[in-house]
Amino acid sequence: MKALKAVRGMHDIQPNDTELWRFVEREIKAVLQQYGYQEMRLPLLEMTALFQRGVGENTDIVEKEMYSFLDRNGESLTLRPELTASIVRAGIEHGLFYNQIQKIWSMGALFRYERPQKGRSRQFHQCSVECFGVQSPASDAELMMICARIWSRLHVSEYLKLEINTLGSQIERQAYRMSLVDYLTPYTNDLDEDSQRRLISNPLRILDSKIPLTQDILSQAPTMQDYLGSESTAFFEQICILLDQRQIKYHINPQLVRGLDYYSHTVFEWKTEQLGSQGTVCGGGRYDGLVEQLGGKATSATGFAIGFERLLLLLEATLVKDRLLKKEEISVTLVISSPESIPYSMDLLESIRNHFPKIEVLSAWSGSLKSQIKRAYAMGSQLALMIGDQEVSGKTITIRFLKEDNKTETITKQALFELLQNQTVNHNNIESLSAD
């Protein structure tokens, strides 16, 4: 029989790692709430046409990376390769964009059929943040500030660099695109294979080619800036002013293009050097045309997406992870000397759980005394509750303070509860102090 394994490129997140995931999710949500964003939860499956129209027919995502299949009724469905299209679809469907400002986030699993490598898997997770109905550049700048605040809370600011660029309006972009094609066409044979292909399908993408010869040719090419109108220029400058004012450092990268078709005006990426070639942890920009393109009325929109796997890799690579995850719960571990102690102990533990919902109450119910004690230390408990025949018959508990010189004493259940009460109070005080 063939061994059952996870599908290629789809990874289990194991118990050791979920704590970090939950921590990061919690921090991101907290920041988003500060800015008035609300959560939306969406289906994993959408009609294939949504992504064809939303993401763009000649993007790599649509051309070769989608998990598409026919439903039983013959309709083509696709596992979502990104969140923005789904959010826009849902917004249109429920009339959320009708003369309203909507600030929405969503997070979850996405699917792209790609060759797995570091920072890239076939099922991965993003948090996508979108602001609809605000045409001011303040909206673009604010999104970058949200990101900066998240990095700060996660202590990774120093590892992430912001790059920004503007693609101009649709019309300006098209004019530039034509002139770029005109410029490059005579050099077609000198371009690398991929760039030759993109000359037809998506010429702007050639700008961020890594091939030296292609970059040589591009050095004399017309630039986007030559085609920006005064409005677009002012819009971009306003964003820079706002970032400067808040002392958020950025680098203007004229080669920054981004692969999805729907962007216009602002595009930005947060990159790190720590993760090898997949260093973009967060990317976003303005996509004023998307709502209309998907059948809604024209609506300004900006947004970004954070890649969870890459963010977590960064936390691990920089060892920030170890600082973030300090165990804060009060924890006690039961140690019994024989199975005869089980009924008395079970009753005690359930009683503790009733009175102290926040305390972690652990038990192995088996193994030698030695191994149970070892486990109590390993789990980080403050207290071991040791129960044997003497405790059962005397209705007492022998406690051992695992964090303070292993002091041991035998006390009544009531005394134990008072002790736990005090510990909980002290613990809460410490917590509220450190929160300031």
Partner RNA sequence: GUGGGCGUAGCUCAGUAGGUAGAGCUCAGGAUUGUGACUCCUGCGGUCGUGGGUUCAAAUCCCAUCGUCCACCCCA
Binding footprint of RNA on the chain (CB under 7 A): 3, 5-6, 8-9, 11, 59-61, 65, 82, 112, 114-121, 124, 126, 194, 198, 205, 208-211, 258-260, 269, 276-283, 305-307, 309-310, 337, 367-371, 373-375, 377-378, 386-391, 398, 400, 406, 408
C-alpha–C-alpha distance, residues 339 and 327, integer Å: 31
Q: Which of residues 238 and 318 has its CB atom nearest to RNA in the complex?
A: 318
Q: Which of residues 34 and 277 has its CB atom nearest to RNA in the complex?
A: 277
Q: Which of residues 27 and 65 has its CB atom nearest to RNA in the complex?
A: 65
C-alpha–C-alpha distance, residues 355 and 200, integer Å: 69
Asked whether 312 and 24 are in contact (CB, 8 A), the reply is yes
Give residue 252's identity as a one-letter amino acid code: I
CB of 298 to RNA, least distance (A): 22
Q: How many residues does the chain have?
A: 436
CB of 378 to RNA, least distance (A): 6
Q: Sign of dihedral through CA atoms 134, 137, 138, 139?
A: positive
CB of 278 to RNA, least distance (A): 5
CA nearest neighbour of 239 among 151, 143, 167, 129: 143
Q: Which of residues 238 and 375 has its CB atom nearest to RNA in the complex?
A: 375
CB atoms within 10 A of CB 10: 14
CB of 413 to RNA, least distance (A): 15
Q: Which two tokens stand for residue 48?
A: 């294939």
CB of 91 to RNA, least distance (A): 18
Q: Which of residues 41 and 210 has its CB atom nearest to RNA in the complex?
A: 210
CB of 345 to RNA, least distance (A): 11
Cα–Cα distances (Å) from 172 to 201, 226, 284, in that order, read 18, 10, 20
Max CA separation in the chain (angstroms):
95
C-alpha–C-alpha distance, residues 41 and 76, integer Å: 22
Q: Which of residues 8 and 297 has its CB atom nearest to RNA in the complex?
A: 8
